[in-house]
Amino acid sequence: MTSADSVPTRALNDGSSIPAVGFGTWPLKGAEAEEGAADALRAGYRLVDTAANYGNETEVGRGIAGSGVPREEVVVTTKLPGRHHGHRATLDSFEESRRRLGVERVDLYLIHWPLPRIDQYVASWQAMIELRERGAVRSIGVSNFTPEHLGRLEDETGVLPAVNQVEMHPLFPQDELRAFHAEKGIVTESWSPLGRGGELLDDPAIVEVARAHGVTPGQAVLRWHLQLDAVPIPKSGGGRRRRDNIDLFGFELSDDEMAAVGDRSPRRLGGDPEHHEEF
Ligand SMILES: NC(=O)c1ccc[n+]([C@@H]2O[C@H](COP(=O)([O-])OP(=O)(O)OC[C@H]3O[C@@H](n4cnc5c(N)ncnc54)[C@H](OP(=O)(O)O)[C@@H]3O)[C@@H](O)[C@H]2O)c1
Protein backbone atom coordinates (compact mmCIF):
# COMPACT_ATOMS: atom_id res chain seq x y z
CA MET A 1 0.00 0.00 0.00
CA THR A 2 1.14 3.55 -0.72
CA SER A 3 1.78 5.59 2.41
CA ALA A 4 0.89 9.26 2.26
CA ASP A 5 4.53 10.05 3.14
CA SER A 6 5.76 8.46 -0.07
CA VAL A 7 3.70 10.86 -2.24
CA PRO A 8 5.82 13.92 -3.11
CA THR A 9 4.37 17.42 -2.96
CA ARG A 10 4.23 20.26 -5.46
CA ALA A 11 5.07 23.77 -4.31
CA LEU A 12 2.45 26.45 -5.06
CA ASN A 13 3.19 30.10 -5.87
CA ASP A 14 1.68 31.20 -2.53
CA GLY A 15 4.22 29.30 -0.40
CA SER A 16 2.03 26.27 0.35
CA SER A 17 2.05 22.89 -1.36
CA ILE A 18 -0.25 20.08 -2.53
CA PRO A 19 0.32 16.36 -3.05
CA ALA A 20 1.49 15.31 -6.52
CA VAL A 21 -1.66 13.22 -7.05
CA GLY A 22 -5.22 13.64 -5.77
CA PHE A 23 -8.56 11.86 -5.62
CA GLY A 24 -11.43 13.03 -7.86
CA THR A 25 -14.92 12.59 -6.43
CA TRP A 26 -17.15 13.27 -9.43
CA PRO A 27 -19.62 11.56 -10.08
CA LEU A 28 -19.67 9.80 -6.69
CA LYS A 29 -22.83 10.54 -4.72
CA GLY A 30 -24.27 9.73 -1.30
CA ALA A 31 -22.69 6.82 0.56
CA GLU A 32 -20.29 6.14 -2.33
CA ALA A 33 -18.91 9.66 -2.00
CA GLU A 34 -18.60 9.46 1.79
CA GLU A 35 -17.00 6.02 1.80
CA GLY A 36 -14.93 6.94 -1.26
CA ALA A 37 -13.36 9.98 0.37
CA ALA A 38 -12.65 8.08 3.61
CA ASP A 39 -11.22 5.07 1.80
CA ALA A 40 -9.06 7.25 -0.46
CA LEU A 41 -7.50 8.92 2.58
CA ARG A 42 -6.85 5.53 4.16
CA ALA A 43 -5.21 4.46 0.88
CA GLY A 44 -2.76 7.37 1.12
CA TYR A 45 -4.41 10.19 -0.85
CA ARG A 46 -4.20 13.59 0.84
CA LEU A 47 -5.82 15.76 -1.85
CA VAL A 48 -9.57 15.42 -2.34
CA ASP A 49 -11.32 17.20 -5.22
CA THR A 50 -15.01 18.12 -5.11
CA ALA A 51 -17.22 21.01 -6.29
CA ALA A 52 -20.49 22.64 -5.32
CA ASN A 53 -21.87 21.30 -8.59
CA TYR A 54 -20.96 17.67 -7.82
CA GLY A 55 -23.72 17.58 -5.21
CA ASN A 56 -21.49 15.60 -2.84
CA GLU A 57 -19.73 18.18 -0.64
CA THR A 58 -21.69 17.08 2.45
CA GLU A 59 -20.77 13.42 1.99
CA VAL A 60 -17.16 14.15 1.02
CA GLY A 61 -16.83 16.29 4.15
CA ARG A 62 -18.26 13.48 6.28
CA GLY A 63 -15.90 11.00 4.69
CA ILE A 64 -12.89 13.18 5.46
CA ALA A 65 -14.03 13.72 9.06
CA GLY A 66 -14.66 10.00 9.57
CA SER A 67 -11.47 8.75 7.88
CA GLY A 68 -9.27 8.87 10.96
CA VAL A 69 -6.75 11.00 9.02
CA PRO A 70 -5.96 14.29 10.79
CA ARG A 71 -7.81 17.12 9.10
CA GLU A 72 -4.66 19.25 8.77
CA GLU A 73 -3.05 16.58 6.55
CA VAL A 74 -5.82 16.82 3.93
CA VAL A 75 -6.02 19.33 1.07
CA VAL A 76 -9.75 19.84 0.62
CA THR A 77 -10.54 21.33 -2.79
CA THR A 78 -13.92 22.65 -3.90
CA LYS A 79 -15.17 24.91 -6.67
CA LEU A 80 -17.40 27.91 -7.26
CA PRO A 81 -20.36 27.11 -9.57
CA GLY A 82 -21.30 29.28 -12.54
CA ARG A 83 -24.60 30.42 -10.99
CA HIS A 84 -22.64 32.20 -8.24
CA HIS A 85 -20.22 34.26 -10.30
CA GLY A 86 -19.87 37.86 -9.08
CA HIS A 87 -18.32 39.33 -5.93
CA ARG A 88 -21.09 39.01 -3.33
CA ALA A 89 -22.41 35.75 -4.77
CA THR A 90 -18.94 34.20 -4.56
CA LEU A 91 -18.58 35.07 -0.88
CA ASP A 92 -22.04 33.61 -0.15
CA SER A 93 -21.41 30.49 -2.25
CA PHE A 94 -18.15 29.87 -0.44
CA GLU A 95 -19.95 29.96 2.93
CA GLU A 96 -22.44 27.39 1.64
CA SER A 97 -19.64 25.09 0.45
CA ARG A 98 -17.77 25.47 3.72
CA ARG A 99 -20.92 24.64 5.69
CA ARG A 100 -21.67 21.57 3.58
CA LEU A 101 -18.08 20.35 3.85
CA GLY A 102 -18.11 20.98 7.60
CA VAL A 103 -14.64 22.57 7.56
CA GLU A 104 -13.26 25.77 9.10
CA ARG A 105 -11.04 26.44 6.14
CA VAL A 106 -11.02 25.23 2.53
CA ASP A 107 -7.47 24.43 1.42
CA LEU A 108 -7.91 25.06 -2.30
CA TYR A 109 -10.85 27.00 -3.75
CA LEU A 110 -11.26 27.14 -7.54
CA ILE A 111 -13.51 28.99 -10.01
CA HIS A 112 -15.01 25.99 -11.80
CA TRP A 113 -15.41 27.49 -15.31
CA PRO A 114 -14.59 31.00 -16.61
CA LEU A 115 -17.95 31.59 -18.36
CA PRO A 116 -16.54 34.42 -20.52
CA ARG A 117 -20.00 35.32 -21.87
CA ILE A 118 -21.14 36.22 -18.34
CA ASP A 119 -17.87 38.08 -17.78
CA GLN A 120 -17.92 37.98 -13.98
CA TYR A 121 -14.87 35.85 -13.29
CA VAL A 122 -12.65 38.81 -12.36
CA ALA A 123 -15.20 39.93 -9.73
CA SER A 124 -15.27 36.37 -8.36
CA TRP A 125 -11.49 36.30 -8.33
CA GLN A 126 -11.41 39.50 -6.27
CA ALA A 127 -13.72 37.84 -3.75
CA MET A 128 -11.47 34.79 -3.64
CA ILE A 129 -8.45 36.98 -2.93
CA GLU A 130 -10.39 38.42 0.03
CA LEU A 131 -11.27 34.92 1.26
CA ARG A 132 -7.58 34.03 1.20
CA GLU A 133 -6.61 37.26 2.96
CA ARG A 134 -8.99 36.54 5.79
CA GLY A 135 -7.75 32.94 6.12
CA ALA A 136 -10.99 31.22 5.12
CA VAL A 137 -9.14 29.67 2.17
CA ARG A 138 -5.50 28.60 2.11
CA SER A 139 -4.90 28.69 -1.67
CA ILE A 140 -6.96 30.02 -4.55
CA GLY A 141 -7.04 28.88 -8.13
CA VAL A 142 -9.16 28.37 -11.20
CA SER A 143 -10.30 25.61 -13.50
CA ASN A 144 -10.67 25.57 -17.27
CA PHE A 145 -9.02 28.98 -17.72
CA THR A 146 -7.15 29.85 -20.93
CA PRO A 147 -4.02 32.07 -21.05
CA GLU A 148 -6.28 34.98 -21.98
CA HIS A 149 -8.47 34.49 -18.88
CA LEU A 150 -5.38 34.06 -16.67
CA GLY A 151 -3.84 37.20 -18.15
CA ARG A 152 -6.92 39.22 -17.26
CA LEU A 153 -6.79 38.05 -13.64
CA GLU A 154 -3.16 39.10 -13.44
CA ASP A 155 -3.71 42.47 -15.16
CA GLU A 156 -6.82 43.42 -13.19
CA THR A 157 -5.93 42.08 -9.70
CA GLY A 158 -2.16 41.48 -9.71
CA VAL A 159 -2.78 37.98 -8.31
CA LEU A 160 -2.22 34.82 -10.33
CA PRO A 161 -3.96 31.55 -9.43
CA ALA A 162 -1.89 28.91 -7.61
CA VAL A 163 -3.52 26.16 -9.69
CA ASN A 164 -5.39 25.83 -12.99
CA GLN A 165 -7.30 22.53 -13.12
CA VAL A 166 -7.88 21.62 -16.77
CA GLU A 167 -8.74 18.70 -18.99
CA MET A 168 -5.51 16.81 -19.58
CA HIS A 169 -4.71 13.25 -20.65
CA PRO A 170 -2.66 11.70 -23.47
CA LEU A 171 -5.41 12.55 -25.96
CA PHE A 172 -5.26 16.21 -24.88
CA PRO A 173 -1.82 16.93 -23.45
CA GLN A 174 -2.14 20.73 -23.12
CA ASP A 175 1.44 21.46 -24.27
CA GLU A 176 0.92 25.19 -24.82
CA LEU A 177 -1.09 25.82 -21.69
CA ARG A 178 1.43 23.90 -19.56
CA ALA A 179 4.26 26.01 -21.00
CA PHE A 180 2.30 29.15 -20.09
CA HIS A 181 1.68 27.82 -16.57
CA ALA A 182 5.38 27.03 -16.13
CA GLU A 183 6.30 30.58 -17.14
CA LYS A 184 3.79 32.03 -14.67
CA GLY A 185 4.39 29.63 -11.75
CA ILE A 186 0.91 28.07 -11.93
CA VAL A 187 0.53 24.35 -11.12
CA THR A 188 -1.43 22.32 -13.70
CA GLU A 189 -3.97 19.92 -12.23
CA SER A 190 -5.30 17.36 -14.73
CA TRP A 191 -8.96 16.42 -14.80
CA SER A 192 -10.08 13.26 -16.59
CA PRO A 193 -6.40 12.25 -16.33
CA LEU A 194 -7.19 8.69 -17.48
CA GLY A 195 -9.24 9.92 -20.42
CA ARG A 196 -12.25 8.79 -18.37
CA GLY A 197 -10.91 5.24 -18.37
CA GLY A 198 -12.11 4.55 -21.89
CA GLU A 199 -10.41 3.15 -24.96
CA LEU A 200 -7.24 5.16 -24.28
CA LEU A 201 -6.21 2.55 -21.72
CA ASP A 202 -6.45 -0.21 -24.36
CA ASP A 203 -4.09 1.64 -26.70
CA PRO A 204 -1.32 -0.85 -27.65
CA ALA A 205 1.49 1.69 -27.10
CA ILE A 206 0.26 2.45 -23.58
CA VAL A 207 -0.35 -1.21 -22.80
CA GLU A 208 3.23 -1.96 -23.90
CA VAL A 209 4.75 0.79 -21.72
CA ALA A 210 2.73 -0.49 -18.76
CA ARG A 211 3.81 -4.08 -19.39
CA ALA A 212 7.50 -3.07 -19.47
CA HIS A 213 7.15 -1.70 -15.93
CA GLY A 214 4.78 -4.33 -14.55
CA VAL A 215 2.07 -1.73 -13.92
CA THR A 216 -1.43 -1.15 -15.31
CA PRO A 217 -2.10 1.16 -18.30
CA GLY A 218 -3.82 3.52 -15.86
CA GLN A 219 -0.67 3.75 -13.75
CA ALA A 220 1.49 4.35 -16.84
CA VAL A 221 -0.77 7.23 -17.88
CA LEU A 222 -0.79 8.75 -14.39
CA ARG A 223 3.02 8.50 -14.24
CA TRP A 224 3.12 10.39 -17.59
CA HIS A 225 1.22 13.25 -15.88
CA LEU A 226 3.65 13.34 -12.96
CA GLN A 227 6.67 13.50 -15.26
CA LEU A 228 5.05 16.47 -17.06
CA ASP A 229 4.73 18.19 -13.65
CA ALA A 230 0.94 17.95 -13.74
CA VAL A 231 -1.09 16.85 -10.71
CA PRO A 232 -3.61 14.19 -11.80
CA ILE A 233 -6.84 13.73 -9.83
CA PRO A 234 -8.12 10.32 -10.98
CA LYS A 235 -11.52 9.10 -9.87
CA SER A 236 -12.10 5.46 -9.09
CA GLY A 237 -15.21 4.03 -7.56
CA GLY A 238 -13.17 1.71 -5.38
CA GLY A 239 -11.06 -1.37 -4.91
CA ARG A 240 -7.78 -2.12 -6.55
CA ARG A 241 -7.82 0.69 -9.11
CA ARG A 242 -8.16 3.36 -6.45
CA ARG A 243 -5.02 2.00 -4.79
CA ASP A 244 -3.15 1.49 -8.06
CA ASN A 245 -3.81 5.10 -9.03
CA ILE A 246 -1.66 6.43 -6.21
CA ASP A 247 1.00 3.73 -6.47
CA LEU A 248 3.09 5.68 -8.98
CA PHE A 249 6.42 6.26 -7.32
CA GLY A 250 8.27 2.98 -7.85
CA PHE A 251 8.93 3.35 -11.59
CA GLU A 252 9.89 5.99 -14.11
CA LEU A 253 9.11 6.36 -17.83
CA SER A 254 11.98 6.94 -20.25
CA ASP A 255 11.84 9.81 -22.76
CA ASP A 256 10.79 7.32 -25.46
CA GLU A 257 8.04 5.93 -23.24
CA MET A 258 6.82 9.44 -22.43
CA ALA A 259 6.62 10.13 -26.16
CA ALA A 260 4.84 6.81 -26.81
CA VAL A 261 2.17 7.56 -24.19
CA GLY A 262 1.59 11.14 -25.36
CA ASP A 263 1.93 10.65 -29.12
CA ARG A 264 -1.60 10.94 -30.55
CA SER A 265 -3.73 13.59 -32.25
CA PRO A 266 -5.17 15.96 -29.67
CA ARG A 267 -8.89 15.87 -28.96
CA ARG A 268 -10.99 17.04 -26.06
CA LEU A 269 -13.38 14.76 -24.20
CA GLY A 270 -14.99 17.66 -22.29
CA GLY A 271 -16.12 21.24 -22.88
CA ASP A 272 -14.23 24.09 -24.55
CA PRO A 273 -13.66 26.79 -21.90
CA GLU A 274 -14.43 29.57 -24.39
CA HIS A 275 -17.99 28.30 -24.80
CA HIS A 276 -18.81 25.70 -22.16
CA GLU A 277 -21.41 26.91 -19.69
CA GLU A 278 -22.57 25.19 -16.54
CA PHE A 279 -24.34 26.89 -13.73
N1 LIG B 1 -12.78 20.99 -13.22
C2 LIG B 1 -13.55 20.36 -14.08
O3 LIG B 1 -14.21 20.97 -14.92
C4 LIG B 1 -13.62 18.85 -14.03
C5 LIG B 1 -14.23 18.14 -15.06
C6 LIG B 1 -14.26 16.74 -14.97
C7 LIG B 1 -13.69 16.09 -13.89
N8 LIG B 1 -13.11 16.82 -12.88
C9 LIG B 1 -12.48 16.14 -11.71
O10 LIG B 1 -11.53 15.20 -12.20
C11 LIG B 1 -11.79 13.93 -11.63
C12 LIG B 1 -11.36 12.82 -12.56
O13 LIG B 1 -11.94 12.97 -13.84
P14 LIG B 1 -12.96 11.90 -14.48
O15 LIG B 1 -13.69 11.19 -13.41
O16 LIG B 1 -13.74 12.63 -15.52
O17 LIG B 1 -12.02 10.91 -15.30
P18 LIG B 1 -10.83 9.90 -15.00
O19 LIG B 1 -10.33 10.02 -13.62
O20 LIG B 1 -9.88 10.09 -16.14
O21 LIG B 1 -11.51 8.48 -15.25
C22 LIG B 1 -12.43 7.90 -14.36
C23 LIG B 1 -12.89 6.61 -14.98
O24 LIG B 1 -11.77 5.75 -15.18
C25 LIG B 1 -11.97 4.49 -14.49
N26 LIG B 1 -10.68 4.16 -13.88
C27 LIG B 1 -10.14 4.69 -12.75
N28 LIG B 1 -8.93 4.17 -12.51
C29 LIG B 1 -8.67 3.29 -13.51
C30 LIG B 1 -7.58 2.45 -13.80
N31 LIG B 1 -6.48 2.44 -13.03
N32 LIG B 1 -7.67 1.66 -14.90
C33 LIG B 1 -8.77 1.67 -15.68
N34 LIG B 1 -9.84 2.46 -15.47
C35 LIG B 1 -9.78 3.27 -14.37
C36 LIG B 1 -13.03 4.76 -13.47
O37 LIG B 1 -13.78 3.60 -13.26
P38 LIG B 1 -14.00 2.99 -11.77
O39 LIG B 1 -14.63 4.09 -10.97
O40 LIG B 1 -14.89 1.84 -12.03
O41 LIG B 1 -12.64 2.60 -11.25
C42 LIG B 1 -13.88 5.85 -14.13
O43 LIG B 1 -14.82 5.26 -15.01
C44 LIG B 1 -13.31 13.96 -11.32
O45 LIG B 1 -13.67 13.00 -10.38
C46 LIG B 1 -13.45 15.38 -10.82
O47 LIG B 1 -13.06 15.47 -9.45
C48 LIG B 1 -13.05 18.19 -12.95
CATH number of 98's domain = 3.20.20.100
The rounded distance, in Å, linking the Cα atoms of 199 and 218 is 11
Is residue 247 assigned to a domain? no
How many independent structural domains does the chain possess? Answer: 1
The verdict on the CB of residue 39 being under 6 Å from ligand 1 is no
Question: What's the pLDDT tens digit per position in 161-184?
Answer: 999 999 999 999 999 999 999 999
pLDDT for position 53: 98
On whether residue 249 sits in a domain, the answer given is: no
Share of the chain above pLDDT 90, in %: 96
Residue 1: is its pLDDT beyond 80?
A: no
Residue 75 pLDDT > 90, yes or no? yes
Residue 102 confidence (pLDDT): 98
Q: Is the pLDDT of residue 114 over 80?
A: yes
The per-residue pLDDT for 229 is 98
Q: Are 110 and 141 in contact (CB under 8 A)?
A: yes
List of residues 6+ apart from 129 with CB closer than 8 A: 140, 157, 159
Q: Is the CB of 244 under 6 A from ligand 1?
A: yes
Residue 239 confidence class, pLDDT cut points 50, 70, 90: confident
What local confidence, expressed as pLDDT, does residue 242 receive?
Answer: 97
Residue 191 Cα, ligand 1 centroid: separation in angstroms? 7
Indicate whether 275 belongs to any domain.
no
Domain region containing 138: 9-195+230-235
3-state secondary structure 32-93: HHHHHHHHHHHCCCCEEECCHHHCCHHHHHHHHHHCCCCHHHCEEEEEECHHHCCHHHHHHH
Q: Is residue 57 part of a domain?
A: yes
Q: How far is the CA of 134 from the centre of ligand 1 (A)?
A: 33
pLDDT tens-place string over residues 198-234? 899 999 999 999 999 999 999 999 999 999 999 999 9
Domain membership of residue 140 (yes or no) is yes
Model confidence over 12-40: pLDDT tens digits? 999 999 999 999 999 999 999 999 999 99
Ligand 1 pocket test, candidate residues 236, 242, 248, most atoms within 8 A of CB:
236
- With respect to residue 243, please indicate whether it lies within any of the assigned structural domains: no
Q: Does the active-site annotation cover 54? A: yes
User: Within 13 Å of residue 14, how many CA atoms lie on the same side as its CB?
Assistant: 19
The average pLDDT across 42-54 equals: 98
CB 90 within 8 Å of CB 122 = no
- For residue 268, pLDDT over 80 is answered with yes
In-domain check, residue 244: no
Quote the pLDDT of residue 160.
98
Instruction: Specify the pLDDT at position 181.
Output: 98
User: Which residues does 148 contact at the CB level (< 8 Å), separation at least 6?
Assistant: none
Q: What is the mean pLDDT of the chain?
A: 97
Above 90 in pLDDT, residue 2?
no
Task: Write the residue with the smallest CA distance to atom 7 of ligand 1.
Answer: 191
Amino acid making up residue 111:
I
Helix, strand or coil, per DSSP, at residue 109: strand
Q: Is 53 in the pocket of ligand 1 (CB under 6 A)?
A: no
Amino acid sitting at position 140:
I
The answer to whether position 201 is within a domain reads no
